[in-house]
């Protein structure tokens, strides 16, 4: 029989590498982060606990993992001391490895992270006066090849597992110091009568899946991770505070609305076929009109929960008055509850595009506003550390350890506190 890797599959195949739900560890232990209660219970039973004991321990461990953010079994104070070493021998509470952490002059933070099997990806935290937004990745590299996006120049390595996706949120909470106290003592001072807590430091209020990768080409793992993030007994973030961005993987959009139910953002970026074919090649498979029809059918979309259309402003490519008017026409045609985010192009080495002038961007915005559609201009954040929209790419992996350490010291010396 020929090797499976050499066998061809007839027909058009979407590039969706299916990763395992748990990345194997060299020491044989199982990382519990990213696993729901039933899966934890199953693993405990396989490890030797009876069904009743496994159910109890799974409930306790789930609470400590996702509600309190502990990283050691020894901190789980309502589990018997004799039980904690048993857990530590068989399981681990993981976080992505931090290769490099950078601070921007505007307060944005970017982390270069590494999976257990040695692949690098990035996440970004953007603080504002009224919110703190975490931009997380769903793949190592990217399935798509959008020509204006630096991430799109990377090859796709693999999908991130649910644990690697949830782990980004947990790592950010670690860094921002917003977990409740890790002991059972004094909870009345921390939690209200509904079990919620007030965090120390800047509260992470919003999550956007706008980092590396196309989330809908890793649908199952993204869905499972977001269910843990939204679980009221776990991380407890409302689905209204989570936005998933897609370039237009139409077959998965309805499932996204039905099975996840988070806000939808669509990377539109052009309203003419020939232009979108160039800068968002997925358009050659799923065209603009088909995409907008799918947006109109997105479950839960309403004036209270508008779909966000992301539109990067490229000089002399997609920024004319005619483009603005066509954008208004299309959104009105499909009666979409829409908001347009105009994104000044963030340059990167070798990019074949330039950013539209501020005057041109404002003129474009004015036309869309006059058409009755909100079209704010996004303020670029984190440009000095390549953390802005479209700039994520793990070039930092090529740096020497000494260089990374030196840059980290310089960044920490100039970084403003997050209090």
Q: Which of 178, 326, 389, 412 is catalytic?
A: 389
Q: Which residues are CB-contacts of 90 (< 8 A; sequence separation ≥ 6)?
A: 29, 30, 47
Exposed e or buried b for every residue in 286-316, given b needs 16+ CB within 10 A? bbbeebbebbbebebbeeeebbbbbbbbbee
Q: Under a CB-based contact definition with an 8 Å cutoff, are residues 163 and 33 in contact? A: yes
The token pair at 134 is 């975490």
Identify whether 354 is a catalytic site residue.
no
User: Within 10 A of 180 (CB to CB), how many other CB atoms are there?
Assistant: 18
Catalytic residue among 122, 164, 178, 310: 122
The answer to whether the beta carbons of residues 213 and 137 sit under 8 Å apart is yes
Measured CA distances, 258 to 85, 214, 215 (Å): 41, 18, 15
Active site residue 122: yes
DSSP-assigned beta bridge partners for residue 355:
314
Q: In the block, which residue shows the tokens 């060299």?
A: 26
Q: Which two tokens stand for residue 368?
A: 């869309």
Distance (Å, whole) CA 294 – CA 216:
14
Within 8 A by CB and 6+ apart from 335, the residues are 296
Under DSSP, the state recorded for 217 is G
Q: Are strands 132-135 and 206-209 parallel, antiparallel or unpaired?
A: parallel
Q: Cα separation of 225 and 223, whole Å?
A: 5
| CA dist list (Å): 346 to 314, 383, 405 | 10, 7, 26
Residue 232 is given by DSSP the state T
Active site residues: 122, 389
């Amino acid at each position: 029989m020929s090797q499976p890797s050499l066998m061809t599959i007839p027909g058009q195949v979407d590039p969706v590498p299916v990763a395992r739900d748990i990345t194997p560890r060299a020491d044989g232990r199982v990382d519990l982060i990213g696993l729901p209660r039933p899966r934890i219970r199953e693993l405990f039973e396989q490890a030797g606990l009876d069904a009743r004991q496994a159910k109890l321990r799974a409930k306790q461990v789930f609470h400590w993992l996702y509600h309190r953010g502990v990283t050691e079994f020894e901190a789980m104070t309502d589990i018997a001391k004799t039980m904690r070493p048993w857990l530590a021998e068989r399981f681990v509470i993981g976080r992505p490895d931090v290769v490099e952490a950078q601070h921007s002059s505007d307060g944005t933070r970017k982390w270069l992270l590494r999976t257990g099997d040695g692949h690098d990806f990035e996440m970004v935290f953007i603080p504002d006066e009224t919110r703190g937004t975490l931009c997380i990745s769903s793949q190592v590299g990217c399935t798509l090849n959008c020509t204006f996006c630096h991430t799109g120049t990377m090859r796709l390595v693999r999908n991130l597992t649910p644990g690697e996706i949830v782990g980004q949120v947990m790592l950010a909470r670690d860094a921002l110091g917003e977990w409740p106290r890790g002991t059972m003592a004094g909870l009345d001072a921390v939690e209200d009568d509904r079990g919620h807590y007030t965090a120390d430091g800047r509260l992470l209020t919003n999550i956007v899946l706008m980092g590396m990768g196309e989330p809908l080409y890793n649908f199952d793992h993204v869905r499972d991770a977001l269910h843990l993030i939204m679980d009221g007994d776990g991380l407890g973030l409302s689905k209204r505070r989570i936005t998933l961005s897609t370039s237009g993987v139409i077959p998965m959009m309805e499932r996204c609305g039905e099975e996840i139910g988070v806000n939808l953002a669509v990377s539109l970026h052009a309203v003419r076929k020939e232009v979108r074919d160039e800068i968002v090649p997925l358009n050659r498979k799923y065209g603009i009109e088909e995409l907008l029809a799918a947006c109109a059918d997105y479950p839960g979309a309403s004036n209270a929960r508008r779909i966000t259309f992301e539109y990067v402003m490229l000089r002399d490519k997609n920024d004319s008055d005619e483009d603005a008017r066509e954008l208004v026409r299309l959104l009105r045609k499909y009666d979409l509850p829409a908001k347009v985010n105009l994104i000044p192009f963030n340059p990167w080495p070798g990019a074949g595009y330039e950013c539209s002038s501020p005057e041109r961007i404002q003129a474009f915005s004015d036309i869309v506003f006059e058409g009755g559609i909100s079209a704010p201009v996004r303020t670029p954040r984190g440009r000095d550390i390549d953390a802005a929209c479209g700039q994520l790419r793990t070039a930092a992996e090529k740096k020497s350890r000494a260089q990374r350490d030196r840059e980290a010291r310089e960044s920490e010396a100039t970084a403003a506190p997050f209090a």
